[in-house]
C-alpha cells in the first residue's frame, strides 16, 4: 500500500458500530442458550484453577482450545466474515491458537499451575474472572442491549482476555500461546477505538497488563535460574 502514512484507523473500518453490535445480537440469538454452557465452562475453569487436581492443566487447555475453535468457526467465519473480509484470516489465527493450546496443554501437558499465593498467579486469575464476569456487563452498562453482550467462550474479546489470564496464571509463561491473543487484542482494541467504543480501553489495558505480568514472570524466572547456576 503506497502512501500508507496517509491512512488512519478509520480508513480500515468497514462497518458502523450499529451493525457491529447487531451482529452480536443476532449471533447471541442464534446460539442461545450456548452462552450459559460457556459461562459454566468458564466457572469450571476457575474452579480448576483453585483446585489442586493433577489433570487441571489438561482440562483447562481442552476447554480453552474448544472455545477458540468455536469462536473461529461460529463467530469469525459464519458471522463476522459477512461484514469484514479480513475475518477469515482472523479465524485462521483463532484456529491456530486452538491447536497450539491443545498441543501444549493437552498433548504435552505443559500448562501447569502452582497452588498458593504467587502474585502473578493471582493477577492471572483476576484477569480471567474479569473476562468471565465483568466483560459481558460492559455493553449493557454503557447503554447497549443485553442481547448484544459479549460472553466468554463464544465472543472473541472475552475469550482472548480470559486466555491471557490463564496463561499469566500458569506456572511458567507460554509466549508461544500468548502471541495470538495479544495480537487479537491489539486488532480488536484498534477496531473498538475507531468505533469510539469504551471496550477499546478495556481490551487494551487487559492485554497490556497480561503482557507486563508475563514479561515480569519470565524475568523473575530467568533471574532464579541464573542464581541457581551461580
User: Which residues of this protein are in contact with other proteins, per CB under 8 A?
Assistant: 2-3, 6, 10-11, 13-16, 19, 22-23, 26, 79, 82-85
Q: Residue 30: exposed, middle, or buried by beta-carbon count in 10 A (0-12, 13-18, 19+)?
A: exposed
Task: Name the residue nearer to other proteins (CB basis): 19 or 134.
Answer: 19
Residues 190, 196, 197, 201, CA torsion sign:
positive
- Nearer to other proteins by C-beta: 24 or 68? 24
* Separation of alpha carbons 148 and 65, rounded Å: 24
Least Cβ distance, residue 37 to other proteins (angstroms): 24
Minimum CB–partner distance for residue 155 and other proteins (Å): 16
Total count of residues recorded for the chain = 230
Q: How far is the CB of 197 from other proteins (least distance, A)?
A: 16
Q: How far is the CB of 6 from other proteins (least distance, A)?
A: 6
Q: How far apart are CA 4 and CA 12, in angstroms?
A: 12
Q: Of 64, 59, 37, 36, nearest to 48 (Cα)?
A: 59
Q: Residue 82 or 218: which CB sits closer to other proteins?
A: 82
Residue placing its CB nearer to other proteins in the complex, 87 or 101: 87
Residue 158 CA to residue 136 CA, distance in Å, equals 8
Least distance (Å) from other proteins to the CB of residue 86? 10
Let me know: does 15 contact 83? Beta carbons within 8 Å.
yes
> What is the C-alpha separation between 61 and 107, in angstroms, rounded?
10
- Residues near 187 by beta carbon (within 8 Å), at least 6 away in sequence: 90
The distance of closest approach from Cβ of residue 22 to other proteins in the complex, given in angstroms and rounded to an integer, is 6
- Residue 106 is given by DSSP the state I
User: Residue 84 or residue 163: which is nearer to other proteins going by CB?
Assistant: 84
Q: Which is nearer to other proteins, 26 or 215 (CB)?
A: 26
Amino acid at each position: 500500500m503506497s502512501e500508507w502514512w496517509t491512512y488512519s484507523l478509520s480508513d480500515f473500518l468497514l462497518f458502523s458500530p450499529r451493525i457491529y453490535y447487531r451482529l452480536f445480537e443476532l449471533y447471541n440469538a442464534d446460539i442461545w442458550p450456548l452462552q450459559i454452557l460457556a459461562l459454566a465452562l468458564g466457572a469450571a475453569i476457575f474452579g480448576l484453577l483453585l483446585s489442586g487436581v493433577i489433570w487441571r492443566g489438561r482440562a483447562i487447555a481442552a476447554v480453552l482450545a474448544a472455545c477458540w475453535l468455536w469462536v473461529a468457526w461460529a463467530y469469525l467465519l459464519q458471522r463476522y466474515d459477512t461484514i469484514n473480509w479480513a475475518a477469515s484470516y482472523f479465524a485462521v489465527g483463532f484456529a491456530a491458537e486452538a491447536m497450539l493450546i491443545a498441543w501444549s496443554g493437552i498433548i504435552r501437558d505443559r500448562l501447569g499451575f502452582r497452588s498458593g499465593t504467587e502474585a502473578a498467579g493471582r493477577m492471572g486469575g483476576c484477569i480471567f474472572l474479569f473476562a468471565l464476569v465483568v466483560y459481558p456487563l460492559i455493553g449493557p452498562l454503557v447503554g447497549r442491549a443485553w442481547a448484544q453482550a459479549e460472553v466468554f467462550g463464544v465472543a472473541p474479546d472475552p475469550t482472548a482476555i480470559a486466555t491471557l489470564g490463564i496463561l499469566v496464571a500458569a506456572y511458567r509463561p507460554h509466549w508461544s500461546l500468548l502471541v495470538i491473543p495479544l495480537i487479537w487484542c491489539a486488532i480488536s482494541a484498534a477496531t473498538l477505538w475507531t468505533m469510539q467504543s469504551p471496550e477499546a480501553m478495556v481490551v487494551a489495558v487487559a492485554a497490556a497488563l497480561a503482557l507486563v505480568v508475563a514479561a515480569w514472570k519470565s524475568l523473575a524466572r530467568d533471574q532464579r535460574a541464573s542464581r541457581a547456576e551461580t
